[in-house]
Chains A and B, each alone.
Chain A
Amino acid sequence: MADLIARNLSVEAGKATLVRDASFRLARGELVALLGPNGAGKTSLLRASLGLEKRASGDALLDGTDSEKLSPMQRARRVAYLPQQRPLAWPNTVRDVVALGRFAYGAAPGRLSAEDADAVERAIKLCDLGSFVDRQADTLSGGELARVHCARAFAAGAPLLIADEPVAALDPRHQFRIMDMIRGFVDEGGGALVVLHDIALAARYADRMIWMKDAQIVADGPPAETLSEERMADIYGVRAKVSGNSVEIEGAI
C-alpha cells in the first residue's frame, strides 16, 4: 500500500504562515486536484508534505514513514515530483533528460541498466516522444517540453506522482494530452496529486478536489460535492456558472 498522509501540517516563513493545520491523504488509484488562488500555499503544502520544506508543526507519512526522515533517494522511489519551475541548464537530448528520472536507482544518462533503459523507453512511448528522443531539449516547444518532463517523472516508476502546475502555459490540446497521461498513470494503479488553475479541467479529470485559501484547506471531496458557485466566489472571488462538472467563469466579483 503506497500512500501519502499529511496530518496537521503548518509551514511558516518568518512571521507569515504559508500553510496552517492542513491534512489530506493521497492514495493509489486516485487523481486529486489541488486548487486555490496564487499564494494560497499549495506549493508550500506539497513541498512540506514531501519533506523538502521545513514544517512548523504536523507530520507527513509516505508509506508510513515520516517523509522528512527518508533519504532523497528513498523518497524519489516512492513519489515522483514535478516542480513548478522546470529549468534545464544544458541542451541535453530528450532521452537523457528522461533518463534523469532513474537517478534514484543509481542510473546516469549514458549509464542505464537494462531495467532503467526499459523504464525510460516505456515513459518515452507513454508520452509520445518517440519522434524526437535525440533532439536537444532547448529546441522543443513548450508543449513538447512539458511532455518530456512528464516522461521524466513517469520513468521513475514511483507509485505516486505530485505535479505542481504541469499544464501551466500550455495550449488546450496539450493541457488535455498531459492530463490524459496523468489519468493513464492513475488508471494503472498510480496516485496523482496535481496543482491546477483550470477549474474545468480539474473537474473533468479529478476524482477529488482539495480547495485551499489563505493557507488553509477549506474543502476536500469529489467535484460533485465540492464544486459550486458559492465555492468559486469564496475561493477565487469570481462569478461562475456551475452545472454538474462544467464551470463557466463570468467575471471577477
Chain B
Amino acid sequence: MSERFLVPGLVAASVVAIFAACLLGSTPLAADRVLAAFLGGADVGDRLVVWQIRLPRAIAAFVTGAALGISGAALQGLLRNPLAEPGVLGVSASASLLATFSLYYGLAALSPWILPLSAIAGALAATALIALAAIRTRSVVTLILIGVGLSSFSGAAMSLLMNLAPNPFSLSDMINWMLGSVANRSFQELGLAAPFLLAGTIILLVSRRGLSALTLGEEAASGVGLNLRNQRILTVLGAGLATGGSVGLAGAIGFVGIVAPHIIRPFVKHDPARSLIPSALLAGLILVMADIGVRLMPTTNELKLGVVAALIGAPAFVWIAMRRRTLNG
C-alpha cells in the first residue's frame, strides 16, 4: 500500500523542494515573484535570479543526486550488497580524477564535451574493474577494498596535480571537482551532462528486472533464465554513464547512492528492481535539500555540497555496515 504512494509522493516532494530552492537564498524571493518569473512575467532581476542562477542549480543538484541514487541502487542489486555505491567503490573518485586531469592539461578548453567525457571514461574504467573483480571474487569486502584502493589512488593523483597546479585559479577549479558542488551551474552545463545521464538511466531501467533474479545468487539467477554476462555489462555501463555524467556536472559527491536506496528498500519489499526509481527520486531530493542548506548556511566561504553529503552520508554508511549481519560475506 505504502508502495503505491511512494513514487508520486517523492515526485511531489522533489517539485516542492526545487521550487523552494528558487525561493530561498541570499535574497529571498516571495513565492508569487518566483511564479511570475517562471511564467515569464516579473522584472528582469527576478527572472535572472530564477532562470540563470537558482533553477539550473537546483535541477543540477536533483539530477546529480538522481544519477547517483539509481547507480547506487543498481550496483547494490548487481553486487548483492547494500554497501555498494559509486563513491564507496571508487567510481566517483576515478571519474573526478580524469575530469581534473582534463582541466589541468587544458584539454577541457578544446571542447565543452571533453570534461563530461573524461569523467565518464574514468567512471566506466573503475566500474568495469569492479565488475571484473566481482566475477573473480565472491567477497564483497574485497570489492570495497578495491574501491578504497581506487579512491586512494585517485586522491593521491589528484593531490599531485594540485601540487603542480600552475596558478590558484586552476587549483580552486580542481578543488571544486574533488569536493563536488553545483554552484554556478547553467542550463548549458546541464545540457552537456543530460545525454549521458539519460542514456545511463535508460540502460539501468531497461535491465533492472535481472537485478531481482540476482537476489537468488548468480548460479540460481542464471538457472531461472538470467543472462549473467549481459546483465553485468548493462549495469556497469549504465551506472558508469550515469555516475560519470553526474561527476562531469557536479564533481564527486559520495554516499547519496548508499543512503537513498537504504531508506527506500523496506518500502519496495527489498526488491532491487523496484528500488531504482524511488531511490533516484529520493537521492535527488536529498541533494536539493542539502544544497539549500549549503546556500543558507551563514559561512564566509560557501560549503561544498559534496562535503555536506559526506558529513551526513559517511556516518550513515558506518551505521549500515555495523548493523549488517554477515549473511554471505
Contact = CB atoms under 8 A, between A and B. Distances in A.
B271 A110 contact: yes
A100 B270 contact: no
Interface in B219-244: 219-220, 222-228
A81 B274 contact: no
Interface string A61-77: 00000000001110111
Contacts of B209: 103, 108
Q: Chain B interface secondary structure, helix, strand, loop or mixed? A: helix
Contacts, number: 97
Given A90-B265, A90-B272, A80 B223 contact: yes
Interface of A: 50, 52, 71-73, 75-77, 80-83, 85-93, 96-97, 100-101, 103-104, 108-110, 136, 138, 152, 156
A76 B271 CA distance: 21
B21 to A, nearest CB: 33
B220 A92 contact: no
B217 interface: yes
B225 A92 contact: no
Q: Which of B224, B227, B274 has the most CB of A within 10 A?
A: B224
B70 interface: no
Contacts of B225: 71-73, 75-77, 103-104
Contacts of A152: 216, 224
B227 A92 contact: no
Contacts of B217: 83, 85-89
Contacts of B224: 76, 81, 100-101, 103-104, 152, 156
B178 interface: no
B214 interface: yes
Contacts of B226: 72, 103
Contacts of B212: 100, 103, 108-109
B223 A87 contact: no
Contact of A100 (B81, B216, B327, B328): B216
Those 4 A-B pairs whose CB atoms lie nearest each other, nearest first: A104-B225, A76-B225, A89-B80, A81-B223
A85 B222 CA distance: 13
A103 B270 CA distance: 17
Interface string B259-284: 00000010001111110000000000
B214 A89 contact: yes
Interface of B: 80-81, 209, 212-217, 219-220, 222-228, 265, 269-274, 327-328
Nearest to B329: A87
Contacts of B216: 86-89, 97, 100, 152
Given A81-B223, A82-B220, A108-B209, A87 B328 contact: yes
Contacts of B270: 90-92, 136
Contacts of B214: 89
B215 A88 contact: yes
30 contacts: A50-B223, A72-B227, A76-B224, A81-B224, A83-B219, A85-B217, A87-B327, A87-B328, A88-B216, A89-B80, A89-B216, A90-B80, A90-B215, A90-B270, A90-B271, A90-B272, A91-B270, A92-B270, A97-B215, A97-B216, A100-B212, A101-B224, A103-B209, A103-B213, A108-B273, A109-B212, A109-B271, A110-B269, A110-B274, A138-B327
A89 B274 CA distance: 15
Nearest to B79: A89
A83 B220 contact: yes
B215 to A, nearest CB: 5
Contacts of A52: 219, 222-223
B223 A83 contact: yes
Nearest to A108: B209
Contacts of B223: 50, 52, 76, 80-83
Nearest to A156: B224
A100 B221 CA distance: 9
A110 B224 CA distance: 17
Interface centre among B81, B225, B227, B271 (most CB of A within 10 A): B225
